[in-house]
Structure 1
């Protein structure tokens, strides 16, 4: 029985405030390709470097909040570098859907466009998805609109009997954390491209050239095109 895992994360709401850009990232993992050894090596590398094993959460990491509170920038940068190396080694692929809010009349219009885009994406790769007996979607239900879009698109294209929804605590799933990481990288790419990068992004990613060399190009090798 062939199974595909789909880990979903979104970026676009911070502290109840709507951001300029809204992104949804889907990370795909064929469960026949084990990640156990890669995860073991990542956790071993953290221990050998004296780094804390904190489930990656990009926004708090970059701003020194939540589990990263009290850590200096150097330590948080080392944690980010270690996770990026791990993510680049994992046998996953991904797709990110990104939207600029002010180009839509309302968020409802934006989410309708997102639903259409996801359906078209799935239909364009239908043969790739049809080889799986089960498609398991992991999402923490952070946004009700995204949950509804996932149900509507995957069930419409692949059939309700194929799609399984799994409870997902991002702290427990490394591949869910990769979706979080990719969301932040794709958001940073948009902001660098429009010269809108923040001081925080420059601290963690450097200038645009460094960002593309150290983060964007490596993770984009996994982009489904």
Structure 2
């Protein structure tokens, strides 16, 4: 029996029912109080110090429809944050940056439309859109957070059932590989916006099959770390497109500079920044 299962067997699920977290409206959840471990804390089984609360923000890019030239991949990204690491000053910085660019401080940046100059960004020039993108990348660079992404080929996984099965296998294998890390936490909270029911079902089934987690519905504009997950999806997609199919004209226009092609600018700058934040193998 795994340590978490043994702990639940000893204490019962009601032991955890009174645990709560304070929700910071723009910065994610913060523990309201020190969470007591009870009579049989996890370190009694593992011999390792107990950590408190861990957050995972999940976003996706793509759809579950058939392969199409404009939508060849499906991306799943997780951003991971130890709630004891204070990132409030970085959150304040990004909110100030949004206000300085005449956007609400709780604006949810969507990097795909930002690059393509769509939706709320259609009135913005290239330099303004680039500055918002760089602001997000700088936020990732400065925050003590990590991430993991998977990119799935819809050409190879040619129906939704095969795609969901592949995602379930990959996510389950990753959790098992990192189980020793996850089992140390008293509380794991997963945030997803329920944007696609397939991902909602996968998150609930796969995570709870391996760990004891709490899943919360998130409004993207309320959590800057959820917007980081959106950024990670976009960067993983761009990396795969460079490798397999090539960038679109709007992507080349957005990232190219007088001294470097879009591909070189991404590889030498943006990808390197995110690579330093990679969690797992």
**TM-score, structure 2 length as denominator?**
0.74
What CA RMSD, in Å, does the superposition of the two structures yield over aligned residues? Answer: 2.0
Match of 2:240? 190
Match of 1:78? 131
**Does 2:167 correspond to 1:122?**
no
Bigger relative contact order, structure 1 or 2 (CA pairs below 8 A, ≥6 apart): 1
Cα gap change, 1:37 to 1:196, in 2 (>3 Å): same
Supply the distance in 1 between the matched residues of 2:149 and 2:160 (Cα, whole angstroms).
Answer: 18
Gaps of 5+ in 1: none
Match of 2:217? 167
Matching of residues 104-115 of structure 1 within 5 Å: 104-115=157-168
Match of 1:37? 89
What does the per-residue CA deviation read over 1:28-69, in whole Å, with 9 as the maximum and x for residues that have no partner?
A: 11111111011112333455xx42344211122112222223
Q: Secondary structure at the match of 1:223?
A: coil
Residue in structure 2 matching 1:64, options 110, 117, 120: 117
Supply the distance in 1 between the matched residues of 2:224 and 2:65 (Cα, whole angstroms).
Answer: 24
Supply the distance in 2 between the matched residues of 1:154 and 1:136 (Cα, whole angstroms).
Answer: 11
Indicate if the aligned counterparts of 2:66 and 2:158 stay in contact, CA closer than 8 A: no
Matching of residues 199-210 of structure 1 within 5 Å: 199-206=249-256, 207-210=262-265
- Larger of the two Rg values belongs to structure: 2
Supply the distance in 1 between the matched residues of 2:86 and 2:131 (Cα, whole angstroms).
Answer: 26
Match of 1:23? 75
Gaps of 5+ in 2: 1-34, 36-51, 257-261
Supply the distance in 2 between the matched residues of 1:101 and 1:189 (Cα, whole angstroms).
Answer: 16
